Amino acid sequence: MTPSEKIEKLSQQITPERYAKMLRALEYRTLKLTVVLEDIYQPHNAAAVLRSCDAFGLQSAYVIENRYPMKISHNVDMGVSKWMDIFKYKSPTCTTAFAARNREPNEFDKANTIKAISDLKAKGYVVAASSLDANPVDVCELPVEKPLAIMIGTELTGLSKTALENADITFKTDMLGFAQSFNLSVFAALCISQLSKKMRALNDDWKMGEKEKQELLLRWLSL
């Protein structure tokens, strides 16, 4: 049975409305922009970021678990994570959030972060790390001509030194009030919104190929 025949058969097992929703989402899905979350231990924040990824058509997200395992609050993400590709990188010393509170980053953590960044670069992504230090560019200035991965760390400490040192570029968003930073999930949503709009306005390179869309639709229909 060909992929097209499988899609035809599976699509008949769901309501026309649900199938139409899948087709609509598929047309806006992109692999050209992705988000990388490092050591996010707040379940509601992690879930909110994934919900924003889905809302703006991002198909993938990368999760780096060094000290903290990232648990997703399904009451917040509204089930969107099951439609996405979530790639996880877990340090062998990552246990529980409680046990990690007083543990300093170690060599396993550094290697885990480096592995994630290396894999992204091997796939052709420019890796941009959020930072308040040095001279980061504004998020609006990030290049979208090539596939782009934006890295975001925890609210209190941000990204690890390893992440910042191995990224291709650092970025920020201007804060005009007294606060130094946005809530993590709000920051992610703002970045994804601006970069997604900029990317889609540039050309049609953000679109998935027909074979990629067909494979993804088959997976969705099989859920």
Number of H helices, E strands in the chain: 9, 7
Please state the separation of Cα 129 from the chain's center in Å.
Answer: 13
Give, in order, the Cα–Cα distances in Å from 181 to each of 51, 131, 146, 153, 188: 20, 10, 27, 12, 11
Backbone φ, ψ for residue 172 (5° rounding): -150, 175
- DSSP class of 81: G
Cα 28 from Cα 208, distance rounded (Å): 9
CA atoms within 13 A on the CB side of 53: 31
CA-nearest of 180, 152, 179, 193 to 45 is 152
| Residue 11, marked binder | no
Strands 148-152 and 126-130: parallel
Residue positions forming the annotated binding site: 130
- Annotation: binding site for S-adenosyl-L-methionine: 130
